[in-house]
A = this chain, B = another copy of it.
Amino acid sequence: MTRTTPSGFCRHDILSPVPPVDVRATVISNVRLSRDYNVLTIAAPEVGALTEPGQFVMLKTTDASDPMLRRPFSVFEVLRDDLGTVRAISILNKRAGRTTGLLYGLEAGDPVWCLGPLGLPFNPPSSGEAWMVAGGVGLAPFATLAEALVALQVPTTLFYGARTADELYYLEFFDRLGVKLVLTTEDGGAGVKGRVTGPLEESLKGLGGPNLVTVYACGPEPMLAAVARLAERYGQPSEVSMERTMGCGLGGCYSCVVPVKHADGQTRYVRSCIGGPVFDGATVVWE
């Protein structure tokens, strides 16, 4: 992973990114995990080979004009063949509306237009442990992040909350990697009953001092705000992946802005597609 500055104002001023590519990819498989969740694997190796943990792609299921705009999705897995060559990427998709509904329904052989990789990735922790905090479909960016962290031999924990036990996915994957799992469900069907911020706060309390863990979070915005505030309260750095309505993913439309406190003390709207989606949790102005 390259070092980047996720809270920067404009990508072009601070780093020279890998140019994204656009591929008309073919669906390799579509595994429905539940009534609303599926893992869609698409043959977009050109995108996968360039992707860093936390980056996203913009997808479209048709070249007609309805629906017209692409939608943003974290790269869930980068899939390699036995020789290590990247062959595909997958997306952890949750049905929320039209395009996510269409992605749920795709079959092997169908085309998907895939633009990416886009956005600023997560940064590796400067020292100590990595704690990933996922709410629901917010699990998506953590499969690749976990792999990268494990490769760097960073001790890694996943705090993972869902509504019910059925909606906790890929536990074995993380287990196999050696990631410690702390699970919560809203109905208490698995792990701790309640929100994921509960056990997170317990663990933060138990830390011996500041800057011992880097907290990575992805999920609904109230969760991100709570995680960022907890991390700050206990003196730990945090990186949050923000979910905003995106029109372009490239900095063209100014739809995806997040209010960010800048070094000069001013709060300015930053385009989360190029100045994020990963932000330093301490700089985001929560609304």
Interface residues of A (CB under 8 A from B): 62, 64-68, 107, 109
| Inter-chain contacts of A65 with B (CB < 8 A) | 66
A227 CB to nearest B CB, Å: 38
| Inter-chain contacts of A109 with B (CB < 8 A) | 107
* Chain B CB within 10 Å, residue with most, of A62, A64, A68, A107: A64
Smallest CB gap from A102: residue in B: B64
A131→B66 CA distance, assembly (Å): 45
A65→B65 CA distance, assembly (Å): 8
| Inter-chain contacts of A66 with B (CB < 8 A) | 64-66, 68
Cβ 8 A contact of A67, one of B64, B67, B68, B107:
B64
| Inter-chain contacts of A107 with B (CB < 8 A) | 109
A64→B68 CA distance, assembly (Å): 11
A162 CB to nearest B CB, Å: 32
A122 CB to nearest B CB, Å: 36
| Inter-chain contacts of A67 with B (CB < 8 A) | 64
A193 CB to nearest B CB, Å: 42
A111 CB to nearest B CB, Å: 10
A68→B66 CA distance, assembly (Å): 9
A103→B56 CA distance, assembly (Å): 33
A44 CB to nearest B CB, Å: 21
A29 CB to nearest B CB, Å: 16
Smallest CB gap from A62: residue in B: B64
| Inter-chain contacts of A62 with B (CB < 8 A) | 62, 64
A27 CB to nearest B CB, Å: 13
A109→B106 CA distance, assembly (Å): 12
